[in-house]
């Protein structure tokens, strides 16, 4: 199933206020049930300069694209990576899959 992107600040803020959270060693996922599947990535300036933040966002989006079929329902999701020395795709992907599976429970 395809997914759309969360883009508006008001959508992010609403999700942060009312959503449920799932944690893993590399990620925090905030989600709430909805009619369509929307995903956004929130990366703070603590991660580094713009080049690093954009790379982290690309890694998270790709991991979600490859594994969004794990979700059975439709959710609005914000994925927030935790600050790390280096960001490996495999680590992000494993953390994301474990979070998505826990969301379904």
pLDDT at 1 exceeding the cut of 80: no
3-class secondary-structure state, position 12: helix
Q: Say what the pTM is.
A: 0.93
According to the model, what pLDDT value does residue 104 have? 84
Instruction: Domain of residue 10: give its range.
Output: 4-104
What is the rounded distance in angstroms from the CA atom of residue 19 to the CA atom of residue 57?
Answer: 21
According to the model, what pLDDT value does residue 105 have? 78
How confident is the model over 61-66, as a mean pLDDT? 96
**Total structural domains within the chain:** 1
CATH assignment at residue 99 = 3.30.230.10
**C-beta separation of 29 from 98 below 8 A:** no
According to the model, what pLDDT value does residue 33 have? 95
* Beta-carbon count within 10 A of 13 CB: 10
The H or E element that residue 27 is part of is strand 27-33
pLDDT at 77 exceeding the cut of 90: yes
């Amino acid at each position: 199933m395809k997914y759309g992107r969360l883009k508006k600040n008001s959508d992010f803020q609403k999700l942060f206020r009312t959503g449920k959270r799932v944690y893993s060693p590399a990620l925090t996922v905030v989600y709430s049930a909805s009619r369509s599947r929307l995903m956004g990535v929130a990366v703070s300036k603590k991660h580094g300069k713009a080049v690093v933040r954009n790379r982290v966002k690309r890694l998270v989006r790709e991991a979600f694209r490859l594994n969004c079929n794990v979700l059975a329902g439709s959710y609005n999701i914000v994925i927030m990576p935790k600050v790390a020395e280096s960001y490996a795709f495999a680590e992000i992907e494993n953390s994301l899959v474990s979070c998505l599976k826990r969301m379904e429970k």
